[in-house]
Amino acid sequence: MRRRYGRTRHPQPTPRCADTPVPGTRPRPPGNLVAMGSPPNSLPTPVTEAGREGLAALLDSPGRAVLALDFDGTLADIVPDPEKARAHPGAVAALARLAPRLCSLVVITGRPAGVAVRLGGFTDAPGLERLVVLGGYGAERWDAATGTVRAPAPPPGVAAVQAELPGVLDGLGAWHASWVEDKGRAIAVHTRRAEDPQAAFELLREPLYALAERHGLIVEPGRYVLELRPPGMDKGVALADYVRETGATTVLYGGDDLGDLAAYSAVDKLRSDGLAGVLVCSGSAEVAELAGRADLVVDGPAGVVALLHALADRLEEPA
């Protein structure tokens, strides 16, 4: 299925990293350690050796690097109503500064690709003409170069879950503690707006896992959300495929939630295969699992944007 978002363009292939022209840069090692909440535009030093090597490789050869970022919680602040989420102010400008210097910029999200493009304000954004958004945990793809979304049809299990879900929520007395987001090829049941979001999450957990299993779907747990979605794709597969497609030799991945752990594992694997990598955690009080595995923890989307500007500052220094 192909849908068009934005103005008509001629299809362009994703550039191979080695083919990407990159303006002159002055490679320098990262600066001193800067903890969460550090002043904007000072480039923090990763706390791990692998992360320091990854960042040095990115600064040394940005034209061979893929920058991959999650959307909600990483590029966009978490808000109670998912439809009201927007890219953090400054995110698009920071990405646009970096894009011409890098091999490729990709957003990998659990949102439908077209929704992330709309909420992110990515359509026709100057500087982001080669941006790629992989939605539905990698099942969907939007290319800024063509303005089209490629999305496979949802498996029949999704319609079956849609039909059965109201009865399940009714049986649990959970109508007022949950909000259903129909994403086409997945159903997300949110509890953030419940009086006690964690209690509502726990109440729903088991019945929703059972419902998903009955219809051949899996559950992707996240920040006060249980998503019932098709198996077979995750952010790790999406990221590894994308890195392979571009021929990049360095990858920086930034995420905030459990669904990003698959991408973290993909970066670990790429590093063991000899690529350079940096794992960035968009830190929050809600999710602890990523910080311990990250090379760099920043303070939520504001920290991510500051990091992107700091990277751009470095890469824009004259050769």
d(CA 100, CA 262): 27
Q: Which is nearer to ligand L263DTV3, 186 or 251 (CB)?
A: 186
Q: How far is the CB of 298 from ligand L263DTV3 (least distance, A)?
A: 15
Nearest to 99 by CA among 77, 122, 115, 118: 122
Query: In the complex with ligand L263DTV3, which residue's Cβ is closer, 88 or 101?
Result: 88
188 touches ligand L263DTV3 (CB under 6 A):
yes
Segment near ligand L263DTV3 (CB under 6 A); pick from 48-56, 182-190, 209-217, 288-296? 182-190
3-state secondary structure (DSSP) of residue 114: helix
Query: Cα separation of 218 and 171, whole Å?
Result: 21
Strands 250-255 vs 218-222: parallel, antiparallel or unpaired: unpaired
Residue 222 as a binder of ligand L263DTV3 (CB under 6 A): the answer is yes
The span of 47-55, 108-116, 268-276, 293-301 binding ligand L263DTV3 (CB under 6 A) equals 108-116
Q: Does the footprint of ligand L263DTV3 cover residue 109 (CB under 6 A)?
A: yes
CB atoms within 10 A of CB 118: 14
Q: How far is CA 5 from CA 78, 115, 117, 121, in A?
A: 25, 10, 8, 11
Q: Count Cβ neighbours within 10 Å for each residue of 41-70 and write b for 16 or more, e otherwise.
A: eebbbbeeebbbbbbbbbbbbbbbbbbbbb
Binding mask 51-70 for ligand L263DTV3 (x = CB under 6 A): -------------------x
Give, as one character, the DSSP assignment of residue 219.
Answer: E
Side-chain half-sphere of 211: how many Cα atoms within 13 Å?
29
Asked if 259 interacts with ligand L263DTV3 (CB under 6 A), we say: yes
Residue nearest to ligand L263DTV3 (CB): 110
Selected binder of ligand L263DTV3 within 183, 215, 271, 309 (CB under 6 A): 183
Candidate segments 2-10, 120-128, 180-188, 206-214, binder of ligand L263DTV3 by CB under 6 A = 180-188
Segment holding 8, helix H or strand E: none
- Rg of the chain taking only CA atoms, in angstroms: 19
Q: Please identify, among the stretches 38-46, 184-192, 270-278, 293-301, the one whose residues bind ligand L263DTV3 according to the rule CB under 6 A.
A: 184-192
Binding footprint of ligand L263DTV3 on the chain (CB under 6 A): 70-73, 78-80, 82, 85, 109-111, 181, 183, 188, 190, 192, 222-225, 227, 257, 259
